[in-house]
C-alpha cells in the first residue's frame, strides 16, 4: 500500500530541513533561525559528549562510539528541526520494539528535550499513536511538533535508525 499523501509531505519537509542545515550554516541571511546559535550548540555538544566532533562541511555533529556512528543535525530556515541518526552493526533482523527503543534513547540523549521529550515519544509509541508507511517509516503523533518520524533500514550488516522532527 503506498504511503498517504500527508506522510509523503512530511518526508519532503524533513528532507528539506536536513538539507537546509549545511546551507544555512554557510550564512543564508533569509533564515529566521539564528544559524550561529546552531553552530554554538554543536560546539557545546562537542565539548560535552565523548567522541563527538563538529563537521562544518556537513553541518552536523558526528559521534563515534566503537563500531557505531551517531549523527545529529539541527537547524533550518523556515522550519526548525532535528534529525538524529544511528548506524550500528547488526547480525540479523531488527524488531519494531528494538527500533522504537533505540529511537527513544536517541531523543533522550541527543535531543536535549528540545521540541520534544523522550517521554513524549515513548508515550506516543505506548499509545499506538503512529502509522507505518513504506514498511520502514513510522509517523508518530506527538504533541509540540508538526511531524516526527522514525525510519529504519538494514543494509550491509548495519542497522540505521533515524529520528526526525520539526516545528514551523
Contact 133, 148 (CB under 8 A): no
Residue 39 · residue 25 · CB < 8 Å: yes
pTM for the complete prediction? 0.81
pLDDT in tens, the chain (168 residues): 334 444 444 443 444 344 444 444 444 567 888 888 889 999 999 999 999 999 999 999 999 999 999 999 998 888 899 999 999 999 888 899 999 999 999 999 998 888 899 999 999 999 999 999 988 999 999 998 999 999 999 999 999 999 999 998
Q: Give the separation between CA 121 and CA 140, rounded to whole angstroms.
A: 8
Q: What residue ranges do the domains of the chain occupy?
A: 5-167
Cell numbers linked to 4: 498517504
DSSP string, 9-71: HHHHHHHHHHHHHHHHHTT-TT-SS-HHHHHHHHHHHHHHSTTEEEETTTTEEEEEETTEEEE
Amino acid at each position: 500500500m503506498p504511503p498517504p499523501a500527508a506522510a509523503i509531505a512530511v518526508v519532503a519537509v524533513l528532507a528539506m530541513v536536513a538539507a537546509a542545515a549545511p546551507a544555512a550554516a554557510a550564512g543564508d541571511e533569509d533564515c529566521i533561525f539564528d544559524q550561529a546559535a546552531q553552530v554554538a550548540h554543536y560546539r557545546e555538544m562537542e565539548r560535552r559528549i565523548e567522541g563527538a566532533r563538529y563537521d562544518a562541511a556537513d553541518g552536523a555533529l558526528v559521534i563515534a562510539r566503537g563500531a557505531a556512528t551517531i549523527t545529529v543535525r539541527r537547524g533550518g530556515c523556515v522550519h526548525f528541526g532535528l534529525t538524529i541518526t544511528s548506524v550500528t552493526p547488526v547480525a540479523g533482523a531488527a524488531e519494531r520494539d528494538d527500533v522504537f527503543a533505540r529511537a527513544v534513547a536517541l531523543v533522550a540523549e541527543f535531543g536535549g528535550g528540545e521540541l520534544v521529550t523522550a517521554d513524549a515519544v515513548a508515550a506516543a509509541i505506548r499509545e499506538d499513536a503512529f502509522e507505518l508507511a513504506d514498511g520502514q517509516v513510522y509517523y508518530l503523533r506527538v504533541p509540540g511538533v508538526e511531524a516526527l518520524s522514525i525510519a529504519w533500514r538494514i543494509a550491509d550488516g548495519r542497522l540505521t535508525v533515524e529520528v526526525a522532527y520539526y516545528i514551523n
